[in-house]
Chain A
Amino acid sequence: MQKPNDTTRREFLTTAAAIGAPLLVSPRTAFGSQASSRVTLGVLGCGGRGTWIAELFQKHGGYEIRAAADYFQDRVDNLGAKLQVPPERRHTGLDGYKKVLAGDVDAVAIESPPYFHPIQAREAVEAGKHVYLAKPVAVDVPGCRTVEESGRKAAEKQKAFLVDFQTRTDPLYREAVKRAQYGDIGRIVCGEATYFCGPTFDEQIKWVTEKPNDPEVRLRAWGLDRALSGDVITEQNIHALDVASWVLDAAPLRAVGTGGRRARSVGTCWDQWAVIFTFPKDVVVSFASKQLGQGWDDICCRIYGTEGTLDTHYFGEVSIRGKLPYRGGKMTALYQDGAVANIAAFHDSIARGDFSNPTVAPSVRSNLTTILGRTAALRGAPATWDEMIAANETLTADLSGLRS
C-alpha cells in the first residue's frame, strides 16, 4: 500500500476546493470525433438502483444505453431487456465491466456495490470514459484516495466525473446551506446528523439466511457485508453526514463512537451507530443512525448557531429558524429529483466541456468523514482524521468462489 505523502497528508481533502481547476474546452473535443450530442453510456452494476437510474438516463434523452455489466446474468438481462441493450453487449462476472470499458461507450454509470467503485472508476478514467459514480465513492481510505486521484485525472483528460448526491442539487438545500455559510444563523456552535430508518435489505437478509455460505449470495447480499458496502454508516448514513460537512465546509478532526448489530443476526454490518465528531473551531456534531425497527424514518442534519438553526430533512422541510429565518420548503421527491438533476448536469458538463468536476472533492471528504466515524465506533476509542489518513487501512472483501 502506498504511504501517504507527509507534506500533503494534513491537507488531504479537508477543503472542498481541493480539486477542480476550471477547464472548459471545446464541445467538439468533449464529444470526441462523433460531434454528436448523444452520450453513449455503459451501466456497471444492474441491481435495483442501477436499473432504476439507467431508466432515468434513458428518459433524459441525451444518452444511449449501449452496454451493461453485472456479475449476475439475470441482473444484466433484466436491464438489457428493459433498455434494449443487445445480448452481445451484456457482460457478466467480476470482470464484466472491463468489456464495457474496452467498448465504444463515451461514459459509464457506476452503480455496482461500493467496494468496486474505486477500481472501476479508475479503470474507466484510464479508458477515457466520463464517469458518473454512485455514493459512497469508496469503502476505505485507499479507495477514497483512488477516487480523488481519478477525479483529478479525469479533469486532466478532459473527462467529466460526477458523484451522485441528491441533496447537493436541490435548490432549497442549496439556499439554506448558503445562508448558514453566509452567517444567517450566527456563529456555528454544534449540530446533529441523524439517519433513522427501518430495515433496508430485507430481501438480502432472506437470501443469506437461506444460504449462509454461498459466495454468490454473499455478493448479491452486498448490503449486509461490511467490506462490500462500507457498512451502514458509510453506505447509507453518508447522506446525513454529507450535509454536515457541506454546511461546515470542513472535515472532522476527530471522533468517538459506538454502535452494534442489535436487531439482525446475519451479515457483518452493524445496524445502529452513534458517533460524536469534532470539527474545526470546536464545532461538535453528534451523529446517530439505525437501520432497524418501525415507526420513525428521517434523514436530518440540523446545525445550531448563536442566532439561528438550520434544519434539513431529506424527506421533509428545509428551513432556517431564528433572527434571519428562511422559510425554505418541503422536499417532494428528492431521491428521484436529485438523480434526474445530476444526470442532466453530467450531460451538460460533457456537452459544454466543463470538466472542473466539482462534486468529487466534497464527496470524498464526506466519505472519509463516515469512515472516521466507523473507525472510532468499531474501535470503541477516539480516532483522529490524521491518524486515519496515515493508517490508510484497507477493507478487503472475500471474493473467493466468484468467477471473474
Chain B
Amino acid sequence: MARPVLALVALAVSVAGPPGHAGTPADVVTNSVGMRMVWVAPGSFVMGSPPGEPLRQEEETPHRVTLTRAFRIAATEVTQRQWLAVMPHGRSPQPGADRPVASVSWKEAQEFCLELSRKEGATYRLPTEAEWEYACRASAAAVTDLAAVAWYSENSDGTAHPVALKAPNAWGLFDMLGNVAEWTMDVYAPYPRDDAKDPTGPPAGPTRVVRGGSWRSFPPALRCAARVGTPESYQLAHVGLRVVQVVE
C-alpha cells in the first residue's frame, strides 16, 4: 500500500545513461559461426505495458526492471546455417540457409547454446525474458510502421524469411518482432508487481516464455510486451531462437 508509485509516461522505456545507449559499433563482435553479437549496456526500463495501451493484455503488468550486467545479444535470430554449424541436424520446415531455424524445442535450443558455448569458449544462452524485452524496446517508442520492421501475417506469405531483410531496431537488432517467435530462458508466470533486478522468472513451471510474434502472428502479438507461454517440448514451425553471450 505504501510502496512507491510508478509514473507511466507515453514513452514506456527509459534507461539509466544516454537514451538508446546499447554500445558502439566497435562493440559488435562476430563469432566463428557468423553471429554478430551486439553489446547492450546495463539499464532500467518499465517491463510490460501500461493500462490503456492499445492491444495490451492484462498479464502485461507494468513493473520497473533493472538489468545490472551488460550482455551481448545476437543481431539476428539463429539461422539454419548457424544452427547446422553447431548441431548435427535441423528440421526447419522452410529450408533456407539464411532463414531462421524453427521447429526446435526449448530443450534443443538449450543444447544449441551449450554446444555453441563449447565451440566458442564463451557462455551463450537464451535471453531472459527481461533481457529480451529490453533489447526489443531498445529505448525507443513503440513501433509505428510494423511492416518496415517485421514479417508477420499480413506480409509474410505464410513463411519465415531470411533474417535481417527488414529494418533493425535502434540498437541494430533485426526481426525482434516477427519472422520467427523466440524462446526465452524464463518459465512463464504472471509478473510480480514489484520492481525487479535481473529477474529470471520462477524456478519451475509448465511452460517457457516465447516472445516477439512470428510470420503467422497478428499485430497484437507483434509488440515488445506481448508474451506467450509454450510447453518446452513443442517444436513449432514458427518458433526459433536468438542467443545472448554473457559478458564476463
Q: Are B216 and A37 touching (Cβ within 8 A)?
A: no
The CB with the most chain B CB atoms within 10 A, among A19, A25, A27, is that of: A27
Q: Are B5 and A352 touching (Cβ within 8 A)?
A: yes
B5-50 residues at the A interface, CB under 8 angstroms: 5-8, 50
Q: Which of A125-133, A175-183, A294-302 binds B? A: A175-183
When the two chains form the complex, which single residue of B2, B54, B226 contacts A27, counting CB atoms closer than 8 Å?
A: B2
Residues of B within 8 A of A183 (CB): 153, 213, 216-218, 221
Q: Are A181 and B218 touching (Cβ within 8 A)?
A: yes
Residues of A within 8 A of B7 (CB): 24
- B57 CB–A CB distance under 8 Å: yes
Residues of B within 8 A of A351 (CB): 1
Residues of B within 8 A of A396 (CB): none
Q: Are A174 and B52 touching (Cβ within 8 A)?
A: no
B190-220 residues at the A interface, CB under 8 angstroms: 213, 216-218, 220
Q: Are B217 and A182 touching (Cβ within 8 A)?
A: yes
CA distance A249 to B59 in the complex (A): 17
B50-69 residues at the A interface, CB under 8 angstroms: 50-55, 57-59
Contacts A/B (CB < 8 Å), 28 sampled: A15-B54, A17-B55, A19-B52, A20-B52, A24-B6, A25-B5, A27-B1, A37-B1, A174-B57, A174-B58, A178-B57, A178-B59, A179-B228, A181-B220, A182-B213, A182-B217, A182-B221, A182-B226, A182-B228, A183-B213, A183-B221, A187-B153, A249-B55, A324-B236, A351-B1, A354-B51, A358-B51, A358-B52
- A353 CB–B CB distance under 8 Å: yes
Residues of B within 8 A of A181 (CB): 55, 218, 220-221
Known contacts A174-B57, A179-B228, A351-B1: A22-B52 contact under CB 8 Å: yes
When the two chains form the complex, which single residue of A17, A24, A182 contacts B8, counting CB atoms closer than 8 Å?
A: A24
CA distance A178 to B7 in the complex (A): 27
With A24-B7, A356-B50 already in contact, 6 other A-B pairs whose C-beta atoms are closer than 8 Å: A22-B51, A26-B5, A37-B1, A181-B55, A182-B228, A356-B51
- A21 CB–B CB distance under 8 Å: yes
Distance from A329 Cβ to chain B, minimum over Cβ atoms (Å): 12
Residues of B within 8 A of A353 (CB): 5
CA distance A358 to B51 in the complex (A): 6
Residues of B within 8 A of A26 (CB): 5
Q: Are B221 and A21 touching (Cβ within 8 A)?
A: no
CA distance A352 to B153 in the complex (A): 38
CA distance A21 to B7 in the complex (A): 12
CA distance A183 to B178 in the complex (A): 12
Residues of A within 8 A of B59 (CB): 174, 178
Distance from B94 Cβ to chain A, minimum over Cβ atoms (Å): 15
Residues of A within 8 A of B6 (CB): 24
Q: Are B54 and A17 touching (Cβ within 8 A)?
A: yes
CA distance A307 to B236 in the complex (A): 14
Closest 9 A/B residue pairs (Cβ): A20-B52, A356-B51, A182-B221, A22-B50, A17-B54, A183-B218, A22-B8, A183-B217, A356-B52
Which residues of A are interface residues toward B (Cβ below 8 A)? Answer: 15, 17, 19-22, 24-27, 37, 174, 178-179, 181-183, 186-187, 249, 324, 351-354, 356, 358
Instruction: Using CB atoms, name the residue of chain A closest to B181.
Output: A182
Distance from B48 Cβ to chain A, minimum over Cβ atoms (Å): 11
Residues of A within 8 A of B153 (CB): 183, 187
Instruction: Using CB atoms, name the residue of chain B closest to A29.
Output: B5
Distance from B39 Cβ to chain A, minimum over Cβ atoms (Å): 31
Known contacts A178-B57, A179-B228, A182-B221: A20-B1 contact under CB 8 Å: no
Instruction: Using CB atoms, name the residue of chain B closest to A358.
Output: B51
Distance from B234 Cβ to chain A, minimum over Cβ atoms (Å): 9
When the two chains form the complex, which single residue of A17, A179, A249 contacts B52, counting CB atoms closer than 8 Å?
A: A17
Residues of B within 8 A of A20 (CB): 51-52
Distance from A76 Cβ to chain B, minimum over Cβ atoms (Å): 32
Instruction: Using CB atoms, name the residue of chain B closest to A351.
Output: B1
CA distance A182 to B59 in the complex (A): 14
Distance from B1 Cβ to chain A, minimum over Cβ atoms (Å): 5
Q: Are A27 and B52 touching (Cβ within 8 A)?
A: no
Distance from B30 Cβ to chain A, minimum over Cβ atoms (Å): 33
CA distance A239 to B53 in the complex (A): 24
Residues of B within 8 A of A174 (CB): 57-59
Known contacts A179-B228, A182-B220, A183-B221: A21-B52 contact under CB 8 Å: yes
Residues of B within 8 A of A186 (CB): 216
CA distance A120 to B246 in the complex (A): 58
Residues of A within 8 A of B1 (CB): 27, 37, 351
Instruction: Using CB atoms, name the residue of chain B closest to A36.
Output: B1
Residues of B within 8 A of A15 (CB): 54
CA distance A60 to B153 in the complex (A): 44
Instruction: Using CB atoms, name the residue of chain A closest to B51.
Output: A356
Residues of A within 8 A of B218 (CB): 181-183
CA distance A156 to B57 in the complex (A): 23
Distance from B238 Cβ to chain A, minimum over Cβ atoms (Å): 9
CA distance A21 to B153 in the complex (A): 29
CA distance A25 to B7 in the complex (A): 8
Instruction: Using CB atoms, name the residue of chain B closest to A324.
Output: B236
Residues of B within 8 A of A324 (CB): 236
CA distance A249 to B50 in the complex (A): 18
Residues of B within 8 A of A25 (CB): 5
CA distance A25 to B8 in the complex (A): 10
Residue-wise interface mask of B (63-91) relative to A, using a CB-CB cutoff of 8 A (1 in contact, 0 not): 00000000000000000000000000000
